[in-house]
Structure formats: structure tokens, C-alpha cells
Amino acid sequence: MARYGMLIDTTKCIGCYTCRTACQRQNDLLPTEDFIRFEQREVGEFPDASIENVPLQCMHCEDAPCAQVCPTGAAHMGADGIVSVDQGRCIGCLYCMAACPYQVRVRNPQTGAVDKCRFCTVSAEQSGTKMCSCVEACLTGARIFGDLDDPDSEIVREIARTKAAPIAGDLTKAKVFYVR
Amino acid sequence: MTFEPVWGTIIAWYLFLAGLGGGAFITAAYLHLRAPYAVHLIRYGRIIGPVAVCIGLVLLIFDATAGFHNPLRFIFLLTNFGSVMTWGVVFLAAFVVVALIVLVMDLLGKGRKVPLWLDVVGAALGLCVCVYTGCLLGVAKTFPLWNNALLPVLFLVSAVSTGMAAVLLVGIFRSPKEFSSVADLKKFHFWLPVVELFLVASLLFVTASSAESAGYASVMNLLAGDCSPAFWLVFILLGLVIPTLLEWKMLFMSSKEVEESRTGHMISATSDVLVLVGGFTLRLLVLVAAMPITIVQPWM
């Protein structure tokens, strides 16, 4: 069974938000609903200072805190390791939003249910898109999607080469890796 | 990023009312055991208990928008017993059922027919409700201010304190004679804000030295940040210190005549109102002051 993950190279990210827009289009999100949250911060000291752009999204944690606290079982982990929200079960109590250490879950203002990055499982099943649209849309090639269990995959090789790591270490066994 | 609290005023009301309801029922059960002659105070506790919890639940259902639009989804609430909220639903449902049975028996039988064991069961469930409101927040690792074992204890003490204050407050106006006769309960009630002061201080000391900088940020939010006026003036001063001083004066420094006079009763009533204000402010502050262990924070 594949164990899907993503690598995001923040040294390549220019903060253009194209991934976010592509994601909103692909997943038919409302203009106020975004699955990718951008953080910016200054790194280094003068004269070697720069701005680091960090796009944050659902990390599809193996220890998913959202699924642990969800009272209705709407937030759950599928057999493929992708964490998803069953929109028909969610009551909108927002417990998962409080439990998520990354604040990457959003409430759909129309339905009141909580939603978040789906690793584009919907598009992959329905229209056969191979990759997440954010990966395809990225202008600088900062994103790589792939199988973390396949030693020959591009993502596994790049994680090893760049020493990429989950943004908060071992906190939740996240499957999104960052080069910083 | 400026962090918007996930839960706001509506949930603060709910946490406050659930604690107050559980605490009021516990007060009634305590009186049943220690002062069974105070039939009116006992009845007030039995009314306030389920009514406050039910109002809180209505707020909760209203706040859970997706469920509010599709009520059948609430059935799913009993599917994940790894979630504290699921346990909360069980405790709340059981408490409301037992508390309403007790209330009906009380109203039909003039207060003499409720068996002690039923009151004890209800009080135990009320205790579970009070502690659950703290555990609900306590298991969220995102917020160091919540994710510790002190918070449920603090919420429990505050819940019992506000529950007793509510019962005593109604008692002062509706049955002043009974109010004067329950010295035991009033002494118990006096100590709760004192214990709360120490619990709050401990919570802040422990949270400020949490491994995550968000712990320090949350404490500073309360002590010196946006939340500090509400924290110092409303919660600490009005909600804890002044009631402690007023009750201390009434219980230990005044003659029996003063204590049972109209003025004495009004001083006690003021103290009880302030305890209620403090109880709500505590819930609201804990919700809005908590900072998440977000990875990138502008001040880091």
C-alpha cells in the first residue's frame, strides 16, 4: 500500500499563492476557503537576511489529532493513509480545528462543516489526475508528491538529499516534508 | 499570522453553564445530605442544574452549524469513544435525564420523596460534566494553556463555586431564612475562590515554563496582553478576591445579627453575582488567550 506524502521546498517558494488558487479551483472551494495557509517570516541577520515563505496545509499525520478528537468519526484516516473529512458526518463542532497543531483546517461558511487539503483524492479518482494540482501549478517546482514507501521515488530521493523534515519534527508523524 | 480563537463566546457560555448546572445539582445533593431541612434551596439547585445545562446544550447545538442544519448527524456523536466530546455527550445526556427525574420527583413529592442514592448518582454525573468541560480542552495538544492536568481541576472548582453561588443567590431572595441556616455550605463556598486563586497561579506558572513558547505567549496574553484588563480586573479582582473578602467579612468577622440582616444578605448576594461573573470570564479568557504551537509565528 502506498503511503503518500509531499515535499515542499521553501527555498524555492516565492509566495505567489498559485498553489492555493489552483487548489481552490480544482476542489471548487469558496473564495474565502483555502486549504493552503501562507506564513512568512524573516530569517537571518543583516546583511544576510531574507524572507522565508512557508505554505502550510494538512500534513496527513499518521498520529492525526483531528481524527482522535472527532466525536462523530467524520475526520478519519483512509486505508491509503490520507486523512479526510466525511462532509456528510461533520457536525461543525470545530474540535478538530482546536486539536490540529497546524491550523490548516477551515470551516465551510455555507455548510458549517470543516474541510482541508485532500491530497486531491477526489480528482485522482474521478478524473485520473496523477498529481495534486498544487504540485502541477507550482511555478518554481517547489512541490513533489509521491509514495514515501517507494525507495526509488523522486520524493524519497529528494527528502534524503535535502534532509527535508516535517515542520514540527515528530509531533504528529506528519507526511508533508519541508526543506528550510 | 494573527491567530483567531477556534472557539469564542458561545462556547464560553456553554462551558460556564454546563459547569454551573453540574455544580448546582451537586450543591442540592450536598444539602440533601447535610441540611435536608433546606427544602427550598435543594429545589433551587435541582431546577438550576438541568435548566442551565440544557441552555448550554442548545447553545452548543446552535454553534455546531453543520449539525444544526442536519440534526440527524448528531447520532454520529456516539461513534468515537476515543474522543472526550463523545464521553461528554454521554455524561451530559445521563446527567440531564437523572436531574430531570429528580426534579419531577421533587416537585410532585414536595421534596421528601427523592431517594438519597438518586441524588448521589446525579451528583456523580454532575461531577463528570464539570470535569469533562476541562478535559475537553485539556486534550488539545495545540494549546499549552489547555494541555495540562490542572485545567480540569480548575474548571471543576470553578464549576462547583458558580453552582453554589447560583443556588445561594436565588436562596437569598426567595428563602432568606433557609439561606441563613446553611452555615456549612457557605463556609464550603467561601473556600472555593481561595483554592481557585492558587490553582490559577499554578496553571500560569506551569504553562509559562512549557517547552513550547506558545505557553509563555498565552500567559503573557493574560498577564500583560490584550486579555490583561479582563484577567486582572474582572476575573482576579471582581471574580475571586472581592468575593473572598466579602464572604470572609460576613462569615468570620461579623456578628450573627449583621450576617442575617438585609444588608448582610445583600453583601452575600453581591459576592455571589461576582463569583458568577468571574466563572464566565475564566472560561472566556481560557478560550481566547490560548496561543497555538503554530510553527511560524510572527514574533518568533
Let me know: does A148 contact A160? Beta carbons within 8 Å: no
Identify all chain B residues contacting A86, using CB atoms and an 8 Å cutoff.
Answer: none
Task: State the cell numbers at B294.
Answer: 503554530
How far does Cα B288 stand from its chain's mean position?
A: 17
Q: Measured between alpha carbons, how far is B269 from B271 in angstroms, rounded to an integer? A: 5
Are the beta carbons of A39 and B295 separated by less than 8 Å? yes
Question: Which chain B residue has the Cα nearest residue A103?
Answer: B294
Q: Which of the four pLDDT bands, split at 50, 70 and 90, describes residue B113?
A: confident
Q: Which structural domain range is residue A65 located in? A: 4-179
Helices within A34-82 (DSSP H only): 65-69
Q: For the segment B240-296, what is each residue's pLDDT rounded down to a tens digit?
A: 999 999 999 999 888 888 888 999 999 999 999 999 999 999 999 999 999 998 754
Mean predicted lDDT score pLDDT of chain B: 93
Q: For the segment B62-91, what is each residue's pLDDT rounded down to a tens digit?
A: 999 999 999 999 999 999 999 999 999 999
**Which single residue is written with the C-alpha cell 479518482?**
A125
CATH of domain B9-289: 1.20.1630.10
Are the beta carbons of A68 and B300 separated by less than 8 Å? no
Are the beta carbons of A69 and B298 separated by less than 8 Å? no
Are the beta carbons of A101 and B66 separated by less than 8 Å? no
Q: Does residue B112 register a pLDDT over 80?
A: no
- A24: CATH: 3.30.70.20
Q: Measured between alpha carbons, how far is B24 from B162 in angstroms, rounded to an integer? A: 8
Q: Which of residues 50-109 of A touch B (CB under 8 A)?
A: 54, 56, 65, 68-74, 88-95, 97-103, 107
Q: What are phi and psi of A174, to 5 degrees?
A: -70, 155
Q: Which of A94, A97, A168 sits opposite B295 (nearest CB)?
A: A168
For residue A95, give how far its alpha carbon lies from the nearest alpha carbon of chain B (Å): 8
Number of domains in chain A: 1
Are the beta carbons of A93 and B3 separated by less than 8 Å? no
Q: Which of the four pLDDT bands, split at 50, 70 and 90, describes residue B1?
A: low
Q: Measured between alpha carbons, how far is B272 from B243 in angstroms, rounded to an integer? A: 7
Phi-psi region for residue B48, left (φ > 0), alpha (ψ -120 to 50) or beta? alpha
Phi-psi region for residue B68, left (φ > 0), alpha (ψ -120 to 50) or beta? alpha
**Mean pLDDT value of segment A132-155:** 92
- Quick one: DSSP state of residue B73? G
Measured in residues, chain B has a length of: 300
Q: For the segment B195-253, what is each residue's pLDDT rounded down to a tens digit?
A: 999 999 999 999 999 888 889 999 999 999 999 999 999 999 999 999 999 999 999 88
Identify all chain B residues contacting A92, using CB atoms and an 8 Å cutoff.
Answer: 63-68
Residue scoring higher pLDDT (A42 or B290): B290
Q: Does residue B106 register a pLDDT over 70?
A: yes
Identify all chain A residues contacting B86, using CB atoms and an 8 Å cutoff.
Answer: 71
The pTM assigned to this predicted structure is 0.93
Closest of A115, A117, A58 to residue A87, by C-alpha: A115
